[in-house]
Amino acid sequence: MKIMNNSAIEVIGYDKCTGCYGCLNNCPIKGAIEFKKTEEGFYKPFLSEECIQCGYCKEGCPVISKVNGNKKEDLEVYSCWSKDKDIVRNSSSGGIFSELAKEYLDNNGIVFGAKWEDGEIVHCGISKLEELKELQKSKYLQSKIENSYLEAKEYLESGKKVLFVGTPCEIAALNTIVNHENLVTVDVICHGIPSYSAYEKYIRENFNLNIKNVTVDFRNKDNGWENFNLTFKNKDQIIIKNNHRQDLWFRGFLTDTYLNKPCYNCEFRTLPRFADITLGDFWGVPAEVKNSEGTSVVTINSKKGKELFENIKSSLEVKEVQWETALAGNPCLYNYKMNDSRREGFYKDFSNLTFNELHRKHFPFPNPVVSFIRRGLGFVKRRLLKVLRGA
């Protein structure tokens, strides 16, 4: 490993590096920066002898070079879902990404998003509607962006319109590299990026498989949107279907046990957001603006975002809501700090314990009696709020 005094990674350090690939895409020297998986299980940049210490990587690093042209006064917030029931059924929440993507693909545009490849997540651009299925559904692992920002830039310079979807840090990185009127960006409400090492250990020990042979539908809706399953597949064969409340790996993810270190205090959960549009599940959505098959929260963050949203509105059921209503059930929308108290102990024990032992020690399931009481109190609270709203 080589670290130069003039490099982005030297300036911010690995603990603040999100793994967004901004430095790689802004580097003028092929092979000077290579992304490798760390022992903790996150793709991070490493410098080779090809590095000429030009410092261009710092301009592509969103931790150093923040570019956000959005304004708070442009913010609009909606609860919505596609009118197409098939789209909602095949989406993690309300199918808004698919409707946005269709608008581009039907008009000769390009859509960038995340897909499965050899058991990991990679970013790619698509131009055909039949390719959209690969980009649908939430994927709770780090996406290998590689040169996707530069590819998007090339499409834009050739006259194409581009829709680019990613996490907030990825969109912030793209903003440092590409500024074009025909680019519209979409970020997702991000809970943080979990470790590939933890995921690999879980798959290997519980299913006796290499992750290259496994894909996961993290948001299978067979039992409903809010009661979703994680469906693990070996090629096209279902291995197991776990309710999200009972899956060991998902428990570790939701308890923030093995997230990428900068995710605990993310610098990109801001207002205004870095993207033109923000999408996510509308957890805690009021009943009067809810679709039980899947409801999306959408924030419009810029004039470009509003123009695109208006173009697809006729395909949606749309209800405007207050920012505070959306934030209540989706704290990761803005300035949310996570608890990293489990992380150090988990990695200290990682090599010496099985995944199931790590689960029991560091992120066990809560006592079922306590969980029942908490759910009951939550129900009472929601009923009271409903009564008070109607008063």
Give the pLDDT band (50/70/90) at residue 6.
Answer: confident
Q: What global pTM score does this model have?
A: 0.93
> Same domain for 200 and 188?
no
What is the pLDDT of the chain when averaged over all its residues?
A: 94
What would the pLDDT profile of 365-388 be if each residue is shown by its tens digit? Answer: 997 665 556 666 666 655 665 555
Among the listed residues 379, 330, 355, the one whose alpha carbon sits nearest the alpha carbon of residue 251 = 355
Query: Which residue type sits at 124?
Result: C
Alpha carbons within 13 A on the beta-carbon side of 181: 1
Residue 3 confidence (pLDDT) above 80: no
Q: Do both 97 and 164 map to the same domain?
A: yes
Q: Please report which confidence band the pLDDT of residue 244 belongs to, taking 50, 70 and 90 as the band edges.
A: very high
Predicted confidence at residue 1, as pLDDT, reads 46
User: Which pLDDT does position 387 carry in this prediction?
Assistant: 57
Q: What pLDDT is attached to residue 328?
A: 96
- Residue 234: the pLDDT is 95
Q: Is residue 145 part of a domain?
A: yes
Condensed to tens digits (0 to 9), the pLDDT of residues 55-79 reads 999 999 999 999 998 999 999 999 9
DSSP secondary structure letters along 270-306: -SS-SSSEEEEE-TT--GGG--TT--EEEEE-SHHHH
Q: Tally the domains of the chain.
A: 3
The CA-based dihedral angle spanning residues 330, 331, 332, 337, taken in that order and rounded to the nearest 10 degrees: -160
Q: Do 91 and 30 share a structural domain? A: no
167-198 pLDDT, tens digit each: 999 999 999 999 999 999 999 999 999 999 99
Asked whether the predicted pLDDT for residue 23 surpasses 60, the reply is yes
In a shared domain, residues 84 and 230:
no
Over residues 216-231, mean pLDDT? 97
pLDDT tens-digit map of 278-329: 999 999 999 999 999 999 999 999 999 999 999 999 999 999 999 999 999 9
* Cα four-point dihedral sign 171, 172, 174, 175: positive
**245 plus 272 within the same structural domain:** no
List the CATH number of the domain containing 303. Answer: 3.40.640
At residue 337, the 3 state secondary structure works out as coil
3-state secondary structure (DSSP) of residue 353: coil
Q: Are residues 167 and 219 in the same domain?
A: no
- Tell me what pLDDT residue 174 has: 98
Confidence class for position 390, pLDDT limits 50, 70, 90? low
Percentage above 70 pLDDT, the chain: 93
346, 225: one domain: yes
Higher pLDDT pick, 236 / 301: 301
> Which ranges of the chain would DSSP assign to H, the alpha helix?
8-12, 22-26, 56-59, 85-89, 96-105, 148-157, 168-177, 196-207, 248-254, 303-312, 323-329, 343-349, 355-362, 368-390
Range of the domain at 285: 72-193+259-333
